[in-house]
Amino acid sequence: MDINVFYLIPIEGNLSWIWGVYRKLLLVIVAFMLFVWSKAWEHTTLFMKNYVVAMVVSLSIIVVTSALRYDGNPLKYVLLEASYFLLIFLAFPIYRFMVRNGKNSFFSTLNIVAFIWYVICIMQVLVYSVTGNFFLYVNHLFRNDNLRFSLKSVGCVMVVYNFCKIWTERDKKIGFNLLQFCLGMYCVFFIQQTRAFFLAIGGAIVAVLLLYPTTVSKKARNIILLIVIACIIVGNGFLSTFLESFGSKSIEYNSTILRQGAFLYFWEEFIKNPILGHGIIAGSSQYLQQIKTGPISCYYYADTGFIGELPQLGIFITNIYIWPLCRAIKMSFKQAKEKTVDAFSIGFLAYILLSSPTVICLNPAYYFIWPIFIAFMEYERVEKQT
């Protein structure tokens, strides 16, 4: 679902139109079928039940009011546009799977998926560099004559997962995790090349090194390691190159300026109506598209993270995102004090928080990771209480 069968299969003709229009709804149907088949509702927690009810009620209000507020914004298309939020039903079978088989079994499966995706990405870059040909059916860009495309949410999060396995289980068999971490980092830096993910993944790793409970000597070692890494980053010019990417002479400058305008525009749209924002826009009229993409038609929700979600969800973002995130933060701090917190709990939470300003997991392209996060954090809470 996250990487569309590794983008190896073209979807053409009538099937392409059906997939383009109804893809989100089809995936929701699959998620709901898994939810029913696994009988997860009978074997889950009160929080997860309350959360999905709050999610469905909030979305219902948002969808109905969005359709009623504008001419040419039909309920059918608004529902299709917002349907991907209901992939949250995947959290239930995922949680059920973790309870029955353990979290490591679930993430080991994701690790295999990520491994295949990393290898395919590297092969595509090599094939393109030699022959100039593409075999992946994926949106791609070029930066400094280098091919780049997204690793999607699983590819990014598993970099953090594999680091946590390496750092906390060094006395066990971690050869595959080490290989995965190296492959993942290569793909992040040389294929994905997205500044927001540099910060989210790097920040998550730093959070694990600083916040994971350990002895004083090991904590001091971690701090020294971070200082050494920071000196290397500064010394080899990576930091200056990264900072220059925001400057007026950078090839990313136009992108930076557009994002600044988008942040301001979407914030103003939210302030105009903090309860409902401007809602979910699915109509194609020029008037509606101007509301959706701003006065110059160049602003996109996907570029502005949390701020981009505010005008779509209004105050209901509290139920959909802020509530479970605050709950996860509170739980992690409690477990850290008790020295029972899992390293990946810290890393996963830090990744979600640090990705929120720009590549938030509520974005359709990255949403698959949100039900995994909900299921995993609830699994950790229950496991540590028993």
Ranges of each domain in the chain:
5-252+295-385
pLDDT given for residue 204 in this prediction: 95
pTM to 2 decimal places: 0.91
pLDDT, averaged across the chain = 87
The neighbour count for residue 91, using CB atoms within 10 Å, is: 27
Who has greater pLDDT, 77 or 170? 77
pLDDT given for residue 385 in this prediction: 79
Indicate if the pLDDT at residue 210 is higher than 50.
Answer: yes
pLDDT given for residue 1 in this prediction: 47
Report the length, in residues, of the chain.
386
Indicate if the pLDDT at residue 343 is higher than 60.
Answer: yes
Q: Work out the widest C-alpha separation in the chain, in whole angstroms.
A: 65
Least confident of 197-201, 254-258, 291-295, 359-363: 254-258
Which is nearest to 174 in space by CA: 240, 108, 122, 109? 108
Indicate if the pLDDT at residue 180 is higher than 90.
Answer: yes
pLDDT given for residue 75 in this prediction: 93
At residue 370, the 3 state secondary structure works out as helix
- Alpha-carbon distance values, 350 to 44, 53, 67, 207, 211 (Å): 25, 26, 36, 7, 11
